[in-house]
Amino acid sequence: MVGPPSILSSSATTTQKSFYTQQSTPYNTNGAKIPSDRDGLQPGALANGARSNSSLSFGPRGSSLAPSPAAPGSFSSNMRNQLAPSRTGSGQDINASMVNLERLDEDDGLVSEQVLATLRESLNREMKIKEGSENMLEALNTKKAKQTKEQRQRVEAELNSSNQKIKELRNQITELQRPKPPTTPTRTRMDVIFQSSNGLRSPHSATKSATGSEFDEPTESPTYALAEILQALEVEGLTPDYYVGHANNLVELFKRHPTLKYDLVWSVFGLRMQVMLLSESREVVAAGYRMTRYAISDISSLQKIRSLNIDYLVVLSLIKERKADVEREQALKFVRAFLDVKDGVSEVSRAVVRTIASVAEHTEDRLKAICIETLAEIMVRNPALLVASGGLRPLADALGEGTYEASGSLTAAFLFLLDAPQRRKYLRSGYELEVLFTAFTDSLYAKENILKQNSKAISYALKSWPGLMTLSMYNFRAIRSLVSCLMLPNPTIRETVIDLLYSLLRIKSPFWATSFLAGRRLTTYGRVATLKAAPQKTAQPVEEEPGEKSFVDHYTALLLAVLIASDMLPGLLQVTRDADNSMLKRKTTLLIGEVLKLADSLLPSTWSADLQLLPELFSAASHFGDNERFDATGTVYQISSVSRTLYRTVPAAGNILASSINSSQDNLASLEDQPKSNPNVTLDETTFRQLLVETQVLSSTNPTKWKWDIILKIIEGPLLNGKRLDEAIKASKFIKRIMSFYRPFKYKFAEVRNTRITQKYVKVGCALIHTLLQTVEGVRYLADNKLLRQIAECLAQCDPTSGLTAQSPMFSKERLQETLCCGYFAMLGTMSGDLKGLQMLDRWRMINMMYHIIDLKQRPDLIKLLLSNFDYSLPGHPRVLLSKALTAGSKEIRIYATNVLRKYSSRSRTNGPGNQGVGDSKWAIQLLVTQLYDPEVEVCATAIKILEEACNRKNYLEYIVECRPALDHLGEIGAPLLLRFLSTSIGYHYLDGLDYISNEMDDWFLGRNDTYVGVIEASLARSFVEVTEETSNRLSMDVDSFELEGDNDAHVPPHFYRELTRTKEGCKLLRDKGHFEEFATTIREYGMLSDDSELILKVKGCLWAVGNVGSMELGAPFLEECDVVENIVRIAESHEIMSLRGTAFFVLGLISRSVHGLEILSEFGWDSNTTRMGVSLGLCIPQNLGKFFSFQPWKHEKVSDIVMTESQKAAAESAKTDDDIVNLRILELIVDLGNTVLQKRAMTELMHIKAKKVPGFKQPALFKKIMTLLESHHFRLGVRHFVAELFDRSVLRRIVFGEENSDDEMNSDVDDTGSEGRTERQRSISDLSGTAPESGV
């Protein structure tokens, strides 16, 4: 059909025509994430043959709904010209590599984060491969060497390869994490590749080399440059590259001078913008959108832009075909820039939102993922606009289908709306979140990738208060449906649900879980003796609160209670009975054991007592006539075995509660373990010689054939007897061969690779040194042996003052990382814990060498090894060395040395009577106090954190106060330590003398109390989201492993009133000031409000203050005097804001930590778990969950209920009528296009009407009416594209420039002359684009 150009058509060259018809490059629809910094349009070089690949990738900005700090509204990489065909073959690779290189060089923000994430993922994968190889080697070592020689060689090769890759990846991560120096904005390499060569501008490189570019001069005049660019854009009739190049220059100018956009004259700039957006070239239109986006400054600039009729242009750009993706992308980024301006969402029209929703509904559209995220951001900022524009449906579909990768951010948007009643009314009562469970309940169509995606979203929802409250409505209907999926005979669904339960309950699988799941027996793998060999971080119990648990455990206790109430255990038992997969059975059995252990430690006895009996399982096992009895009996045995092993192997650091509840059992176990090695000391001679023979040390010189477990038993047992040791030295070669193995210049021990398996050699070496130091014979032998002399020589190679050098030093950085050479420092550390050992070190001048090594700035790894392995329990040179490192070392070394003091300042020593008091920790505390005056703030912060931990012991705290540290110069950093001083009367009087208490108390009462709300909520948010990686219990000698010790504790920010009420003096001051009564009054009067954000913040601050006071035994009487607990319980059980209920829940947990508080709560139906001594653990949950999860369905705000303005109503009504009969019929047919049944007939009739060249399709009035209809009703993307194709291009120009009153004859004349004036190429393209309108894009 020959006719005027349609409204969506654009000019194209012959090259373009062939490109678009023959292009076969597939479009990326996976929503891949794309960098946001580089989004410049690059002009194409048609003359010199440079080409660009036009297949771009599109995807979401990221998982966060917060505005990006990069370019406003940006989410994509650089925009390039699509005027030339893409390269084929190797050309594509070169082009892609150039883009990748450019991204790596210039994307300082998002790209570097993406690369870091990729490198970290690769590092995790290599670490797992390494661990698997080590496990394989350990298994092969139990078999005969000859049978497994080839297999061992392959595994060792794989292990070496993994070690090399790990080293390279760590180096790359370190390089990327280094801060880059700021650079001046320069032109990108892609500018050079795609520079314009139309003769109107000289090449950039030539311009720079000759006189310098006016845009790159640091002394440029921005207003002059702006005027020059705008004047250049006035020229008409030039190639698209000319306009794209100038638009890019203008964007660079805005980047260099961000304040320039505030001085724009919109009458001039707006005209240039309109002309570019009305261009027939897609690249020019895209450049216009980008240029305008960077000109946005505030809400007034958005209003000026909208006054220029840009909404119509944006809508038409978004509904264009795929080949216009360069324009569509920039149009969408332009809309997203509105969201980055304060209150900018109010300037986004319903027509634009509905168009974005139609793109989001289109399955095959490349912009789908970005449109979904844009709709989510609009929903957070203005839910009424989104619901009225029909944007909620594509969001709910994306959430349920599981195809949207950033499901966490989408879930967060729904949770934000569900939290408060003012926003909640736009959603149906929980149905939007329940759609996540469809993938699990519809087992016939279950796909693993969708299940995993939805499980992440479910986990995110259940770890938040709005999500848990909403999904617990209707008697836990959604959670019950998830648990009931365990009954379905679908292994994929079952495994996904079980993994989800592991994640929700934060269960860390024990290190033996992998072998257990593979089928190995726990009796052979989980021996206590084996487990005790691994050093575990022992948690430091707090004397005043031995059973204190974190808020995360409190929330986990509630979630566990909800899952138990939702019949989780019957579902898990069903899996153990009828699952065909043995690994799935074992995984479920392990989960049951973990759940029973969690229930015993977290839940009140009323919850956990009946749970431990597993009545259903035992009743099935006792039906002797039923064949299923055997499965049930096996399950009982497996659960019992798992529970026993979990009880024996629970690490103290992983579960503080276990140490407090089972302290008496642990003491008995330690008493049982102590004498195990003692009977071996008094072995008879025959048994002793038999043991020596069994080690195979006497029969073989190959250390790999020795039985190292027996060697360790002998060293820690019989050899502690001087007579036996003398016999082993003189009558056999046992000691001689072992010592020979450890000598550095024998290159045996020193050449062994540093892996988890080979750590046993280090352990035996340290045990041997320790044993030799216990007897006179051993000391004499060790002093005369070549071992110490050779170690001293190796140290001398690193001492620049010794005069000894070596081409490859034994203690070089590479050797210490890759081999067991680092084990020599552990042996030296063992010697430093004994007076005779220190004398030997001094004899070989090793102490002097260490003083020199501490001064080496280029060997921080060596210094860290020395500091972390020394034993500082004895006064002497080690403490002096540490003191030197603390004061004279580099910043990195000072921080590391400060961390070394942690275990000596906050842990009681086991030797001597000093463990009851401060004892040997005085020196460490004194050094830490000295560190408070370090010039580097990071060092001071580290020392304060360690001293704060030491304050958990009352006697340590009193000694720290005696040191009288001055913290005024540290400001906020020292505040936590000062708060801890309030815990004792000595500290109280010390601070009172400094006039600190009264000033701080007034500060907290007047403002800091409210600020604390943000701090504690941010801390809780991090705790809920963070997933700590499972650590393999490896005896690592890595220098960085020590540095992390104690740094990952989830400390709750200290509260002033909590510390104040630890002492009687503080309670008296609180009573005199009357602050607690003020807090209680605020809660009582304003606690149930839900519409005033400032008062809600005030109530939260008062809740935290009351909870912290009530958690102390001395502060609990305040609760009864003010009778405030009843109000807090009412807030927790009936408040309209879900997150405020959660705050009240945590506050009740704080109150339950005091005995008096727990008694008060028990009257209101809340109970907490206690230790066997009756001490509350602060994990308070309601006895009746229905009272806490009492949300009832709310009234849903429908689209028809959302109030429109009078102008919108009038426009909607007038859009349905018209005086012209043909126009009225067109409007009726447009409405019919929204009906699937009538759509085809309506499209046919509209095409017939257009063929008759009726004047209606050239009238701006009819176009506006149809746009109003498209804004008011739901139409698919293809239909919108079809409708826009019906109108002539001149209509849009007249609307944008306000030329709507011209008559139809003028329209016709303009159209005819325009048609005659067009070239043959333009007419052919128009005809091609207007022949067959598509129903979808």
DSSP class per residue in 503-539 = HHTTPPPPTTHHHHHTT--HHHH--HHHHHTS--PPP
Helices 310-318 and 325-339: crossing angle in degrees, nearest 10, is 130
Report pLDDT for 637. Answer: 59
Q: How does pLDDT run across 155-209, given as a tens digit for each residue?
A: 888 888 888 888 888 888 877 776 554 443 434 333 433 333 333 333 343 333 3
- Split at pLDDT 50, 70, 90, the class of 487 is confident
Number of continuous H segments (helices) and E segments (strands) in the chain: 75, 4
pLDDT at residue 723 is higher than 90: no
Report pLDDT for 66. Answer: 40
Q: What is the residue-averaged pLDDT of the chain?
A: 76
Rounded to an integer, the average pLDDT of 501-514 is 78
| Amino acid, single-letter form, for residue 1224 | L
Task: Tell me if 440 sits within 8 A of 497, measured CB to CB.
Answer: yes
Q: How far apart are CA 297 and CA 308, in angstroms?
A: 16
Q: How many CA atoms lie within 13 A of 98 on its CB side?
A: 16
Least confident of 262-266, 853-857, 908-912: 908-912
pLDDT at residue 533 is higher than 60: no
The kind and range of the H/E element at 1178 are strand 1176-1182
Q: How does pLDDT run across 218-234, given as a tens digit for each residue?
A: 456 888 888 889 888 88
Pick 917 or 1045 by higher pLDDT: 917
**Nearest in space to 504 (alpha carbons), one of 449, 456, 442, 453:** 456
pLDDT at residue 648 is higher than 70: no
Q: In 3-state terms, what secondary structure has residue 617?
A: helix
- Split at pLDDT 50, 70, 90, the class of 1044 is very low
Provide the 8-state DSSP code for 58: -
User: Most confidently modeled of 21-30, 1038-1047, 1267-1276?
Assistant: 1267-1276
Report pLDDT for 765. Answer: 94
Rounded to an integer, the average pLDDT of 19-43 is 41
Least confident of 132-146, 332-346, 377-391, 964-978: 132-146
- Split at pLDDT 50, 70, 90, the class of 829 is very high
Provide the 8-state DSSP code for 935: S
Report pLDDT for 1018. Answer: 87
- Split at pLDDT 50, 70, 90, the class of 515 is low
Provide the 8-state DSSP code for 1091: S
**Nearest in space to 1083 (alpha carbons), one of 1108, 1111, 1103, 1097:** 1103
Cβ burial of 1061 (10 Å; 0-12, 13-18, 19+) is buried
Rg (CA), the chain: 37
Rounded to an integer, the average pLDDT of 1303-1332 is 38
- Split at pLDDT 50, 70, 90, the class of 1194 is confident
State the Cα torsion 94-95-98-104 to the nearest 10°. Answer: -120
What lies within 8 Å, CB to CB, of 2 at 6+ separation is 1323, 1327
Pick 235 or 1206 by higher pLDDT: 235
Rounded to an integer, the average pLDDT of 996-1018 is 89
Report pLDDT for 1051. Answer: 55
Relative to beta strand 1176-1182, strand 1166-1170 is antiparallel
Q: How far apart are CA 400 and CA 431, in angstroms?
A: 11
- End-to-end Cα spacing for the chain: 20
Report pLDDT for 140. Answer: 75
**Nearest in space to 1132 (alpha carbons), one of 497, 554, 524, 451:** 554
Q: How far apart are CA 996 and CA 1004, in angstroms?
A: 12
Helices 350-361 and 325-339: crossing angle in degrees, nearest 10, is 130
Task: Tell me if 53 sits within 8 A of 95, measured CB to CB.
Answer: yes
Q: In 3-state terms, what secondary structure has residue 488?
A: coil
pLDDT at residue 862 is higher than 60: yes
pLDDT at residue 767 is higher than 90: yes
pLDDT at residue 1208 is higher than 80: no
How far from 368 is each of 173, 329, 436, 1010, CA to CA, in Å? 33, 11, 19, 41
**Nearest in space to 1060 (alpha carbons), one of 1117, 961, 1142, 984:** 984
pLDDT at residue 824 is higher than 90: yes
Report pLDDT for 1220. Answer: 77
Q: How does pLDDT run across 1136-1191, given as a tens digit for each residue?
A: 999 999 999 999 999 998 888 888 988 988 888 887 777 888 888 898 888 888 87
- Split at pLDDT 50, 70, 90, the class of 603 is confident
pLDDT at residue 1125 is higher than 70: yes
Q: How does pLDDT run across 779-805, given as a tens digit for each residue?
A: 999 999 999 999 999 999 998 888 888
Least confident of 998-1002, 1092-1096, 1195-1199: 1195-1199
Q: How does pLDDT run across 547-567, given as a tens digit for each residue?
A: 345 788 889 999 999 998 888
Q: In 3-state terms, what secondary structure has residue 80?
A: strand
pLDDT at residue 898 is higher than 90: yes
Q: In 3-state terms, what secondary structure has residue 1169?
A: strand
Report pLDDT for 546. Answer: 35
Q: How does pLDDT run across 77-87, given as a tens digit for each residue?
A: 334 333 333 33
Report pLDDT for 623. Answer: 58
How far from 945 is each of 978, 1053, 1069, CA to CA, in Å? 12, 12, 28
Rounded to an integer, the average pLDDT of 53-73 is 40
pLDDT at residue 12 is higher than 50: no
Task: Tell me if 73 sits within 8 A of 334, measured CB to CB.
Answer: yes
**CA angle at 592 for the pair 589 and 595, rounded to the nearest 5°:** 155
- Split at pLDDT 50, 70, 90, the class of 949 is confident
Give the rounded distance of the alpha carbon of 944 from its chain centre.
27
How far from 925 is each of 13, 904, 910, 950, 1243, CA to CA, in Å? 79, 8, 18, 9, 84
- Split at pLDDT 50, 70, 90, the class of 1069 is very high
Task: Tell me if 975 sits within 8 A of 1015, measured CB to CB.
Answer: no
pLDDT at residue 610 is higher than 80: no
Report pLDDT for 882. Answer: 93
Pick 1319 or 589 by higher pLDDT: 589
- 508-542 in b/e form (b: 16+ CB < 10 A) is bebbbbebbbeeeebeeebeeeebeeeeeeebbbb
DSSP class per residue in 445-481 = G--HHHHHHHHHHHHHHHTSHHHHHHHTHHHHHHHHH
Q: Which two tokens stand for residue 852?
A: 């020199």
pLDDT at residue 286 is higher than 60: yes
Provide the 8-state DSSP code for 807: S
Q: How many CA atoms lie within 13 A of 185 on its CB side?
A: 16
Q: Which two tokens stand for residue 698?
A: 């006497």
pLDDT at residue 1106 is higher than 90: yes
Q: How far apart are CA 738 and CA 334, in angstroms?
A: 74
Q: How far apart are CA 867 and CA 1197, in angstroms?
A: 65
pLDDT at residue 523 is higher than 90: no
- Split at pLDDT 50, 70, 90, the class of 868 is very high
The residue assigned the tokens 């709904």 is 65
Partners of 1297 in beta bridges: none
Q: How far apart are CA 887 and CA 890, in angstroms?
A: 9
Q: How far apart are CA 1268 and CA 1262, in angstroms?
A: 10
Length of the chain: 1337
**Nearest in space to 1329 (alpha carbons), one of 155, 191, 282:** 282
| Alpha-helix residue ranges (DSSP H) falling in 756-854 | 759-772, 776-784, 786-798, 813-818, 823-832, 835-843, 846-854
Q: How far apart are CA 140 and CA 144, in angstroms?
A: 8
pLDDT at residue 1103 is higher than 90: yes
User: Please, what sign has the CA dihedral across residues 968, 969, 972, 976?
Assistant: negative
Least confident of 131-135, 607-611, 1045-1049: 1045-1049
Report pLDDT for 638. Answer: 66
